[in-house]
Amino acid sequence: MTQDTPLHPGLNLGAPHGEAHTRSEPVIFGFWVFLMSDLILFGILFATYVAMRNGTAGGPGPLELFDLTSVAIQTGLLLLSSLTYGFASLLLKHGNGQRRGLMIWLIITAALGLAFLGFELTDFHSMAQDGGVPSRSGWLSAYYALVGLHGLHITLGLLWIGVMLVQIGVLGLNCRVKTRLLMLGLYWHFLDLVWIGIFSIVFLAGVA
Amino acid sequence: MKNTAWQRELKHYLIGGLLSLILTVVAFAAVLGVDLSRAATLAIVAVAGVAQLIIQVRYFLHIDLSRQKREDLHLILFSLLLLTLMAGGTIWIMGDLAGRMY
Amino acid sequence: MSDPIFGRLEWSSFFVHEFIAAPSIDSAVAAGAGLAVVVGGIALLGVLLRYRLWGRLWRDWLTSADHKKIGIMYIVLALVMMARGVLEGVAMRTHQATALDGGILSAEHFAQLFSTHGTIMILFVAMPLLIGLINYVVPLQIGARDMVFPVMNQVSLGLTTAAAALIMVSLVVGHFETGGWSAYPPYTGADFNPGVGPDYWIWAIVLSGIGTTLTGINFAVTIYKSRAPGMHFMRMPMFTWTALCTAIMIVYAMPPLTAGSLMLALDRYLDFHFFTNDLGGNMMNYANIFWMFGHPEVYIVVLPAFGVFSEISATYAAKRLYGYASLVFATMAIAAVSFTVWLHHFFTMGQSASVNIAFGIATMIIAVPTGVKIYDWMATLYRGRIRLTAPMIYMLGFFILFVIGGLSGVIQANPTVDFQVHNTLFLVAHFHNVLIPGTLFGMLAGIQYWFPKAFGFRLDERLSRRAAWLWIIGFCFAFLPLYWLGLLGMPRRSASFSDPAFVPWMYVALAGALVLLSAFFTMLQMGWVSVRDRKRLAVPAGDPWDGRTLEWSVSSPPPEWNFAATPQVYSRDAFAVEKEAGHPYLPAQRYADIKMPNATSMGMAVCIAATLMGFGLVWHIWWLAIAGLLGMAASMIARGFVTQTEHTISAAELEQAHRDWLDDVANTRAVTRDEETSPGNRGLAAADVVP
């Protein structure tokens, strides 16, 4: 029973990890609070996007600019990366400290994130080709700010994965590294959650 | 013992991934695949989106209704309340203002 | 157009240029302010070098991760910024007294004054004061050794300081924003304000906003996770409760501010169209987003003051706090409802009456829990053995004046009344009437109350009382006439006016402002005299006021580790209960090794890098902005590789220090409450008050 009692949100390392498990409690809780704050930030941008939905000012709108095939691929990539990060977390929890598999899953996650970012930037580029630049209209400003903020989060997440790969190599799987990997996991899953909002509210509702 | 826990949790992630995939396909299909009224399409997208949010919170973030995790659940519910107030309020106010300008 | 190395920085950007080019009273005041910053900075540097204090300052303060030192540094920052804010207030009152068809300052200069005054007083005085106080007091009240994230605490201070530095730099190089503390576009957009003013505002807001968010997370997690065993939520001291609610509000209220100011930045820097007049922009959304932060912010700054008044009413009336549970629920209710009222800041924007009514009703509702609190404090004082010390004088002023301010606010919850007084001095009178007697008096009372805990000696009581009375009297003269002027129809923020009927009231307000200035100087004198007489005022035993909560159970100043052994809590008012039971000063049954955070230069690195980044962004010096950003990123990544972040303090050392202090306490003469303000008070309370 006590072994299963979770101390914090998200995947728990569990009692066998000893200090790494107990010391994660306040840190992960704090990170969770941060994510909630970040959620509000996204919420403001979502609301602004909806409020500016008709502010196309005679410029191109969603029907002319959005490429739902690309959005579907991005959605798939991000969902898959959320899963591969899940596999990495499970190896962290149950893998008895073996680093290789963990690092491989992290690299796969990063590759998927990078591919997502590539598709997103290609979309931005082709939108700009069709006159869909942020300075064209209030709606496009809101679009680029919201989707761009998510993309920026993904970029920071990739940077973070990179730093963690180095830390796993240099420091090994010590207490702090384990806690940080748990935080990174929450962060990565959270970005997938935000993406659900983006593809539903921005893309699908925009074209429907 | 340990392997079974591992397998159980792995299965957990896979279920979450599969359900998310299905809901994503449903949402995209509602827009691209079938010809429905706009209201019906939006309703399907909204329901599929909310369902997928709940699925991912449950299976990827491991938040559930069990006793031990109440504190986190409270935090999430409070966040959602404020999110609803802020986002809903913004849309209400700005929508009302827009309506009065035409 | 902008230079690759210096951006848009030119010689004419520096503060003396305008005075040399066109000498006048107006440019002399501006040049004098810039000169004061430069001379002040050089003088500070000179003192540090002359007396070789630099090393000590760096080792003991700037790199310390101790929550107590960080708290004190926050308060020092607040007092420095407050000096500027008060002087700006006096400058504005002087100007407006002469503003019948003119005035001594230019309209542009006056606009900068009210914009900086508002920004500084809310974000760089009220916020650092309450964050500093919470930082210092809360871990001591809950029996913790430090914040959960001591280094993040440093980073928060670093970011806030960087933001404050940007505002100070705006006096020397360039100018500040002129659209008020809320900086509404499109006026602050690139079309109407291409200069650096709004950019200074934006980056100061963004940096301090991020710093404050981190602080909020830190406080919330600390209170959730670091309470001493036995301290359930309903046993927490009231100040900790208000700190918790404030922290949670910070976490949710800061994102709108960050979002709004960054969107304004996107408009200005990258030609986005969030708030512009043309191309589908919607400036009304800015007001909406800003006040989604702005209104909770009002309660963020006032709740900790309510916490202070709860503590001091119980302590100085020597009674248990009346209605603890109702105060807790009132605090929670205020925290939640404060997120539902933001629209009352723009009732006149043009939305339907139904929208206005909904927010008007929510606004009226929030007055109810506030009223509950006032009655609770009155009931606490009722039949208490009250000592009218300086904090109680502040509380007296608070009681009467804050209620007036609250009432003048709640009538404006009615949109029809608000339409009459909107944008007049009535509003200025109202919010000063809640912020000064509420927040400021609360914070000053708190400083007065906890100062002996932090420094080991009391503040000179005679001068403290004099300062308190001057604040109260000055406030009445400076702000109550503004109600009348507002009802006469005088718009706020007017650089000049044409109705001679305003003039006499303007002089009354100026007189009040001068009294407030003298109150500020009296406080400085109080500080000076107290430091001079610190031997006579010393209270090493740590409990000068017969306090009720855990922070009074340790020495003054407390050791680095706060508690030699983590206390076990059995009830509310833990220390008062121990004193009643007759065994407040006992050695611990068992001492254990503890780990304390190491000093680190992380906070200073972030502070310097953030200041450079902000300056680079304001002046379009892109290489500097990128360098600052990379500097911050690099210091954060490098920090991740530091493995030695804590040092161990042995049980033997803890025990030795604790027993030495207990011996001192045993040799201290206990004083009764009658001798509280006499030199005989060495910080040990006699049990002369029967609770």
Residue-wise pLDDT for C5-30, tens only, equals 888 888 888 888 888 888 888 888 88
User: pLDDT (tens digit, 9 = 90+) per residue, C433-463?
Assistant: 999 999 999 999 999 999 999 999 999 999 9
Rounded mean pLDDT of C242-258?
96
CA distances C237 to C171, C383, C407, C421, C547, Å, are 42, 22, 28, 39, 12
Chain C CB contacts of B94 below 8 Å? 282, 284-285, 288
**Contact at 8 Å (CB) between A156 and C633?**
no
pLDDT for res B1: 47
pLDDT for res A2: 43
**Contact at 8 Å (CB) between A173 and A97?**
yes
- Chain-centre distance for alpha carbon C425: 24
Residues C33 and C78 in one domain: no
Residue C1, classified by CB atoms within 10 Å of its CB into exposed (0-12), middle (13-18) or buried (19+), is: exposed
Q: CB contact, 8 Å: A73 with chain B?
A: no
Residues C45 and C109 in one domain: no
Share of chain C above pLDDT 90, in %: 91
Spell out the domain ranges in chain B.
1-62, 66-102
CB within 8 Å of C322: residues ≥ 6 apart: C376, C377, C379, C380, C382
Interface test with B, best of A5, A40, A66, A204 (most B CBs within 10 A): A204
Domain of residue C146 covers 53-600+645-675
Rounded mean pLDDT of C511-534?
97
CA distances C3 to A191, C14, C611, C622, C623, Å, are 39, 17, 20, 10, 11
pLDDT for res B92: 96
Q: Is residue A61 included in any domain, yes or no?
A: no
The CA R_g of chain A, rounded to the nearest whole Å, is 19
| Facing residue for B49 by CB, picked from A68, A76, A197 | A197
Distance from CA of C392 to the nearest CA of A (A): 37
pLDDT for res A92: 94
- Domain CATH code at residue C546: 1.20.210.10
Residues C71 and C33 in one domain: no
CB contact under 8 A, B60 and A86: yes
CB contact under 8 A, C221 and A137: no
CB contact under 8 A, A51 and C251: no
pLDDT for res C7: 87
User: pLDDT (tens digit, 9 = 90+) per residue, C282-310?
Assistant: 999 999 999 999 999 999 999 999 999 99
pLDDT for res B70: 65
User: pLDDT (tens digit, 9 = 90+) per residue, A141-180?
Assistant: 999 999 999 999 999 999 999 999 999 999 999 999 999 9
Q: CB contact, 8 Å: A15 with chain C?
A: no
Which of the residue ranges A5-19, A50-64, C397-411, C642-656 would you say has the lowest mean pLDDT? A5-19
pLDDT for res C445: 97
Number of domains in chain A: 1
For chains B and C, count residue pairs whose Cβ atoms are closer than 8 Å.
38
Chain C CB contacts of B79 below 8 Å? 252
CB contact under 8 A, C640 and A26: no
Q: Is residue C620 included in any domain, yes or no?
A: no
Interface of C with A in 602-641 (CB under 8 A): 637, 640-641
pLDDT for res B69: 58
CB contact under 8 A, A90 and B13: yes
Rounded mean pLDDT of C179-185?
95
Number of domains in chain C: 2
Chains that touch B (3 or more CB pairs under 8 A): A, C
Q: CB contact, 8 Å: A6 with chain C?
A: no
CB within 8 Å of A100: residues ≥ 6 apart: none
Rounded mean pLDDT of C165-170?
95
CB contact under 8 A, C252 and A135: no
pLDDT for res C620: 96
pLDDT for res C583: 86
Residue C451, classified by CB atoms within 10 Å of its CB into exposed (0-12), middle (13-18) or buried (19+), is: buried
| Facing residue for A25 by CB, picked from C225, C282, C292 | C225
Q: Is residue A60 included in any domain, yes or no?
A: no
Q: Is the pLDDT of residue C81 over 50?
A: yes
CB contact under 8 A, B79 and A204: no
* Higher local confidence (pLDDT), B69 or C361: C361
The tokens describing C482, both together, are 């503004």
User: pLDDT (tens digit, 9 = 90+) per residue, C86-127?
Assistant: 999 999 999 999 999 888 999 999 999 999 999 999 999 999
Residues C19 and C75 in one domain: no
Domain end, chosen from C52, C78, C94, is at: C52
Q: Is the pLDDT of residue A5 over 80?
A: no
pLDDT for res A18: 85
Length of chain C: 691
User: pLDDT (tens digit, 9 = 90+) per residue, C374-391?
Assistant: 999 999 999 999 999 999
Report the C-alpha gap between C347 and C342 in whole angstroms.
10
Q: Is the pLDDT of residue A73 over 80?
A: yes
Q: Is residue C109 included in any domain, yes or no?
A: yes
Chain B CB contacts of A200 below 8 Å? 27, 45-46, 48-49
CB contact under 8 A, B5 and A94: yes
CA dihedral A70, A72, A78, A82 (to 10 degrees): -170
Interface test with B, best of C343, C348, C355, C357 (most B CBs within 10 A): C355
Q: Is residue C167 included in any domain, yes or no?
A: yes
pLDDT for res A22: 87
Q: Please give the angle made by the CA atoms of C77, C75 and C149, to the nearest 5 degrees.
A: 100
Rounded mean pLDDT of A4-23?
84
Q: Give the pLDDT band of residue A19 (cuts 50, 70, 90).
A: confident
Q: Is residue C23 included in any domain, yes or no?
A: yes
Residues C35 and C100 in one domain: no
Chain A CB contacts of B57 below 8 Å? 193
Rounded mean pLDDT of C60-71?
95
pLDDT for res B6: 87
Q: CB contact, 8 Å: A142 with chain C?
A: yes
pLDDT for res B66: 73
User: pLDDT (tens digit, 9 = 90+) per residue, A175-198?
Assistant: 999 999 999 999 999 999 999 999
**Contact at 8 Å (CB) between C347 and C358?**
no
pLDDT for res A14: 87
Q: Is the pLDDT of residue A3 over 60?
A: no
Residues C338 and C234 in one domain: yes
Q: Is residue C624 included in any domain, yes or no?
A: no
| Facing residue for C289 by CB, picked from A44, A136, A176 | A44
Residues C46 and C92 in one domain: no
Residues C47 and C64 in one domain: no
Share of chain A above pLDDT 90, in %: 85
Domain of residue A45 covers 2-53+67-207
pLDDT for res B75: 85
Q: Give bridge partners of residue C457 from the DSSP assignment.
A: C538
Report the C-alpha gap between C165 and C129 in whole angstroms.
17
Q: Is the pLDDT of residue C527 over 80?
A: yes
**Contact at 8 Å (CB) between C293 and C215?**
no
Interface test with B, best of A11, A191, A196, A207 (most B CBs within 10 A): A196
Chain A CB contacts of C220 below 8 Å? 30, 33
- Domain CATH code at residue A110: 1.20.120.80
User: pLDDT (tens digit, 9 = 90+) per residue, C144-156?
Assistant: 999 999 999 999 9
User: pLDDT (tens digit, 9 = 90+) per residue, A79-91?
Assistant: 999 999 999 999 9
Interface test with A, best of B7, B13, B50, B59 (most A CBs within 10 A): B13
Q: Is the pLDDT of residue A4 over 70?
A: no
Q: Which residue of C has its CA nearest to B78?
A: C336
CB contact under 8 A, A47 and B46: no
User: pLDDT (tens digit, 9 = 90+) per residue, A98-146?
Assistant: 899 999 999 999 999 999 999 999 999 999 999 999 999 999 999 999 9
| Facing residue for B86 by CB, picked from C292, C352, C355 | C292
The complex scores an ipTM of 0.95
CB contact under 8 A, C285 and B90: yes
CB contact under 8 A, A82 and B60: yes
Residues C340 and C366 in one domain: yes
Residues C11 and C109 in one domain: no
Q: Is the pLDDT of residue C690 over 60?
A: no
End-to-end CA distance of chain C: 74
CB within 8 Å of C251: residues ≥ 6 apart: A33, A36, A37, C213, C216, C217, C220
Chain B CB contacts of C285 below 8 Å? 90, 94
Q: Is residue A153 included in any domain, yes or no?
A: yes
Chains that touch C (3 or more CB pairs under 8 A): A, B
Q: Is residue C691 included in any domain, yes or no?
A: no
pLDDT for res C5: 85
Q: CB contact, 8 Å: C459 with chain A?
A: no
Q: Is the pLDDT of residue C691 over 70?
A: no
Interface test with C, best of A48, A183, A194 (most C CBs within 10 A): A48
